[in-house]
């Protein structure tokens, strides 16, 4: 694994642990000599993540749409900034560049990116690990709902188990490094 694509919010959230976990992940990626690939923003979770990685001497690739350059205050001091026209291009490039996918706390965009990466893993469009950094239990209710979806027969248990979950960056990176893809038929 050479790079990790991280999905997270351009907001900071209400609990300081969210920004703290973004900083810790950014630092851990740099210390592990892994390139951070993320949405290119300079504020909120995105900014904290990228700043921490850069401060530790890490490599950071941002991918941002021209339209979001202003609203997400694009980070100016990145190792590599890719400016694209559409969100589809943004997600495609981020998916291509990452050897693994991690979701930090975030909103609709983060959820959408997490579920797209998970769906692609389920369909074997890729075989890269997908993980949640469950800072402060942020994803607990979502995980409960996904377990409910398993119980109701809409998601297979082995597909849900494809999502690696960790409470801290150290455990998360360990799970990503030891991930072994297991093929599971969708139907």
Interval 25-55: pLDDT, tens: 999 999 999 999 999 999 999 999 999 999 9
Q: Determine the Cα–Cα distance for residues 122 and 39; give it in Å rounded to an integer.
A: 23
Give the residue carrying structure tokens 């072994």: 180
What pLDDT does 79 receive? 84
Per-block mean pLDDT, blocks of 10 residues, the chain (187 long) = 95 96 98 97 95 97 89 83 94 96 96 96 95 97 98 95 96 95 76
Going along the chain from its start, the domains and CATH numbers come out as: 3-176 (3.40.50.450)
Quick one: which of 4, 10, 17 has its CA closest to 110? 10
Quick one: which of 130, 127, 152 has its CA closest to 139? 130
pTM (2 d.p.): 0.95
What are the DSSP E strand ranges found in the chain? 3-7, 35-38, 60-65, 80-84, 101-103, 130-133, 163-166
């Amino acid at each position: 694994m050479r790079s990790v694509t991280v999905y997270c919010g351009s907001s900071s959230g209400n609990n300081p642990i969210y920004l703290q976990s973004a900083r810790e992940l950014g630092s851990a990626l740099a210390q592990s000599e892994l390139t951070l690939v993320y949405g290119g923003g300079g504020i909120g979770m995105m900014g904290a993540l990228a700043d921490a990685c850069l401060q530790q001497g890490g490599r950071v690739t941002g991918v941002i749409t021209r339209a979001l350059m202003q609203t997400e205050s694009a980070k100016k001091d990145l190792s590599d900034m890719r400016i694209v026209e559409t969100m589809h291009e943004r997600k495609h490039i981020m998916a291509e560049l990452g050897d693994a996918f991690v979701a930090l706390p975030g909103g609709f965009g983060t959820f959408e990116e997490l579920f797209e990466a998970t769906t692609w893993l389920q369909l074997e469009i890729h075989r890269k690990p997908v993980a949640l950094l469950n800072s402060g239990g942020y994803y607990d209710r979502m995980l409960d709902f996904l377990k409910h979806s398993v119980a109701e027969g809409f998601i297979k248990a082995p597909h849900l188990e494809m999502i690696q979950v960790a409470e801290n960056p150290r455990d998360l990176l360990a799970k990503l490094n030891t991930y072994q893809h297991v093929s599971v038929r969708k139907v």
